Structure 1
Amino acid sequence: MNDTFMKTKPVFPLLVSMALPNVISMLVNSLYNIVDSLFVAQINEQAMTALSLVFPIQNFVSAVAIGFGIGINALVALYRGAGDHDRADAAATHGMALSVLHGILCTLAATAIMPGFLARFTTDGTIVSMGVTYSTIVFLFATVNMAGLAFEKIFQAVGRMKLTMTALISGCVCNILLDPVLIFGLGPVPAMGIAGAALATGIGQAATLVIYLVVYSTTESPVHLCREALRPDLSLEGRLYAIGVPAILNLALPSLLVTFLNGLLAAFSESYVVVLGIYYKLQTFLYLPANGIVQGMRPLIGYNYGAKEHARVAKLYQLTLGMGAVIMAAGTVICMAASAPLIGLFSSNPETIAIGQTALRIICLGFVVSAVSTTSSGALEGLGKGAASLVISLCRYVIFIMPLAWLLCRQLGPTGVWHAFWVTEVLSAVIAFAVYRKSVGPLSR
């Protein structure tokens, strides 16, 4: 299969063709997460609490899989672009082997810590028991999930976005269909409760992996997993981790930020904590299309960088930035015009709606400028410059927003936390553009 179209096809239609399947995949994945939670909530409130308590560890395991996958994606694209197919095969092979190892280690570690972890947040024995049951089953599939995501990033690196979209959607649909059957029982299938929800998740991940394995085994692939490429290569493995570890941290930092902000807002009223949670639900849908475009850009910019197509690298960055800014401008208009109805989707409490209306109208002031940070961070990951990308994420999620939120909430009350968001985005955009220009140098001009 020839992937030279990544450096010959006109940039705009190329970027759209790579980004659109990602956007669709992410929308379906978000829908699956909502449906999955709705089914679990129907068991009882304790089951939903257990699921929520397991989520941080489950999210971290996913961050390891996706973040390291970004490292695989970047190196495969870079080496393919440079015409070094043997090195690309080696990167894919080592990446897959290490992903499987990560899955085994995560299964062992996460299963071991969960009873103690859950007991730190609740004294309800039923919730702890449910959480242990759910997490034990889910983490047994960690290796399956790691391998599936490694395949996803390998196929994306060579432009096979429709395949990864099909595989992800198939896994999500499988999960959604199995949820009611395994949770509540149907015919000969017994009701398994929260264990059924976990099993449905694992089977959905396995279905995705099976699709990748079948496609890899039965079709021509530009990248090959080779046993002979498994010989130790500290340089290659170092590059995988140099990109993957910062990407993992990038994905984990928002959870740290939410925990910190919840601590500040809880001192004023529980309603502010609820509003913050609602904002992040809404933000997920708003940033989905922008992040889908960045995902489509990442292998393209890496491939063209490796092929020394410097003008195309610059054009891809600029086009992604422009498209992201347009999407975020639309989000700003929606939040300004319909802030109360948006909050009302999640709460009927007049106090919460009033607080949320104010929050959305303030936070959205930073939406457009945030496109600089998200585009620069994604571009740097695609170019294999993970440490530089991490600098941007640290600015957005730790260095600027945490001290600003702490300071402004003491000056302006809880509203100060909302102002910290847009101020952070402005400051982070300045840093992001400077970091990108310094890291990429004249290629970005």
Structure 2
Amino acid sequence: MASAFLATAYNITDMAWIGLLGSNAVAAVGVAGMYTWLASAIVVMARMGGQVNMAQALGNRRPDEAVQYARGALQLAVGLALAFSAVTLAFADGLVGILAPDDPHVAQDAALYLRLCGGFVLFIYLSQTLTGLLTAQGDSKTPFKANAAGLVVNMALDPLLILGLGPVPQLGVLGAAVATVFAQLVVAALMIAGIVRDRGAANVLRRVRPLQPTKAVHLSRIVKIGLPAAIQSALYAVISMVLTRMVAAWGSGAVAVQRVGGQIESLTWCTAEAAGSALNAFAAQNFGARRPERIRRGYRLAFAAVGAWALAVSALFVFLPGPISSVFFHEPDVVGISSSYLFVIGIGEAFMCIELMTVGALSGLGKTRLCSIISVALTGSRIPLALLLSSTPLGLDGVWWALTLTSIAKGVVFWAVFRRVARKLPEGRTQAVVAVDEGEPGLA
């Protein structure tokens, strides 16, 4: 969760500096950011599939199998990164044209940002996949340290490259892209270095040889677990793209608010996803070890912690939307749009956190397909609901209400589904867990 908070600070820092260039620059990064969001959704197949299978193998005391899953996940991540880079480099202008408002400057800057970040998406894919695999073996400290270093690098480079200083020219949106890519390179490199340095018995990732072939059975299991989660995340991104196209009817300022609002909102969703990632590994290991009561207890503790954080952030959004918006926007009309966004979104933050945290727990139990069905159905309803509400006197606020109402519905449904699934988990410890309880070292 601390690593996620750093990622939030990373994103907010970007937007705060870009905001000094005006809402058009923010809109350009926002449009390109939709596709980098889609890129992050695609790599979920490697990250989630590798993390769940690796954690379950470790929970059942099968380290050799865990190595196979880790290698397969990394190889899949590299392949997906190369494919995504090829597409964005070749079709950046056309992709941006789908979402960009009728402003050539916004479209030009967005295409430039997308080409650079998309062309070097490999670093993001490695960082996210390694984070999942390290978490699966119980190591969340290495990702935290790497992300902390990446944040420092990004905070130093943003003002230097975006605004220019001394002999360094003002690069604007291009400078933001360069800072992001370099910071992600640092994060990935530090994670790899941490794996190489750690000679502990629990560090099975040190045994991974990326160039060796992975057995087809392990790759198929990675895809089986990871593909539904990736489809869910990708459709979520696509639905947001459709909503962005709708929001564009209110101008580039509204597009900028949607993008920046999502980054501000990451104070909650990024933390909830991190709690979900921790629960994912925790649930998977204990599922492999047949310890259902630990899974239920871990969920209750995470629910309390994440819920308290979400309520605190919701209070900020509801009662202080204007001052928060003024940090990122400097045009009065855009500040007004942003204030309305934060107020409406703040009402549903706790429910969104419950959803994301519960998805992580259910995925650790292998229920990725169930999560996808629920999430796609309810998230997809945002489009007709937004069309309906925005045609009323609510106008643009109707789009924001569509986001909040569906978040509330998803939070309630996922909570109820987890309670039902958790009650039916099989009881009984495996031999491996009994050995651990008797003093033999092990992750379970």
Band the TM-score falls in, shorter-chain normalisation: 0.7 to 0.9
Quote how far apart the aligned CAs of 1:263 are.
Answer: 5.4
CA contact (8 A) 2:26 2:256 kept: no
1:36 to 8, 11, 14: 14
Which whole-Å CA distance do the structure 1 matches of 2:342 and 2:131 have between them?
Answer: 34
Identity %: 23
Matched, 1:328 2:310: yes
Q: Quote the residue 1:402 is aligned against.
A: 383
Which whole-Å CA distance do the structure 1 matches of 2:394 and 2:22 have between them?
Answer: 36
Q: Quote the residue 2:413 is aligned against.
A: 431
Matched, 1:168 2:147: yes
Counterparts of 1:347-366 in structure 2, within 5 Å, are: 362-366=344-348
- Residues 274, 238 of structure 1: alpha-carbon distance in 2 compared, 3 angstrom cutoff: same
Unaligned runs of 5+ in 1: 1-21
Q: Quote the residue 2:63 is aligned against.
A: 85
Counterparts of 1:279-358 in structure 2, within 5 Å, are: 279-343=261-325, 345-346=327-328
More displaced, 303-312 or 172-181? 172-181
CA contact (8 A) 1:437 1:444 kept: no
Unaligned runs of 5+ in 2: 428-444
| 3-state secondary structure, aligned to 1:223 | helix
Deviation per residue, 1:75-118 (Å, 9 max, x gap):
11111001111110100011111111112212212111113334
Q: Quote the residue 2:49 is aligned against.
A: 71
- Residues 180, 150 of structure 1: alpha-carbon distance in 2 compared, 3 angstrom cutoff: same
CA contact (8 A) 1:94 1:230 kept: no
Matched, 1:214 2:193: yes
Give the letter aligned to residue 383 of structure 2: M
TM-score (norm 1): 0.79
CA contact (8 A) 1:93 1:224 kept: no
2:125 to 133, 146, 150: 146
Q: Quote the residue 2:181 is aligned against.
A: 202
Give the letter aligned to residue 78 of structure 1: Q
CA contact (8 A) 1:302 1:382 kept: yes
- Residues 288, 232 of structure 1: alpha-carbon distance in 2 compared, 3 angstrom cutoff: closer
CA contact (8 A) 1:68 1:247 kept: no
Matched, 1:381 2:359: no
CA contact (8 A) 2:57 2:66 kept: yes
Deviation per residue, 1:102-146 (Å, 9 max, x gap):
122122121111133345547877666655544443333222332
CA contact (8 A) 1:100 1:143 kept: yes
Which whole-Å CA distance do the structure 2 matches of 1:137 and 1:46 have between them?
Answer: 19
Which whole-Å CA distance do the structure 2 matches of 1:137 and 1:364 have between them?
Answer: 33
More displaced, 359-368 or 280-289? 359-368
CA contact (8 A) 2:77 2:125 kept: yes
> What root-mean-square deviation, in Å, do the aligned CA atoms of Structure 1 and Structure 2 show?
3.7
| 3-state secondary structure, aligned to 1:91 | helix
Give the letter aligned to residue 382 of structure 1: G
Quote how far apart the aligned CAs of 1:267 are.
Answer: 6.3
CA contact (8 A) 2:78 2:122 kept: yes
CA contact (8 A) 2:321 2:342 kept: yes
More displaced, 69-78 or 90-99? 69-78
Quote how far apart the aligned CAs of 1:31 are.
Answer: 2.5
Q: Quote the residue 2:437 is aligned against.
A: none
- Residues 422, 142 of structure 1: alpha-carbon distance in 2 compared, 3 angstrom cutoff: closer
Give the letter aligned to residue 100 of structure 1: V
More displaced, 84-93 or 200-209? 200-209
Which whole-Å CA distance do the structure 1 matches of 2:343 and 2:198 have between them?
Answer: 50
More displaced, 383-392 or 130-139? 130-139
Deviation per residue, 1:242-277 (Å, 9 max, x gap):
332333344344444444445556668988767655
Q: Quote the residue 1:233 is aligned against.
A: 215
| 3-state secondary structure, aligned to 1:443 | coil
TM-score (norm 2): 0.79
Give the letter aligned to residue 68 of structure 1: A
More displaced, 156-165 or 194-203? 194-203
Give the letter aligned to residue 25 of structure 1: S
Give the letter aligned to residue 383 of structure 1: L
Deviation per residue, 1:30-85 (Å, 9 max, x gap):
33223334555667877655434322222222332355312221111111001111
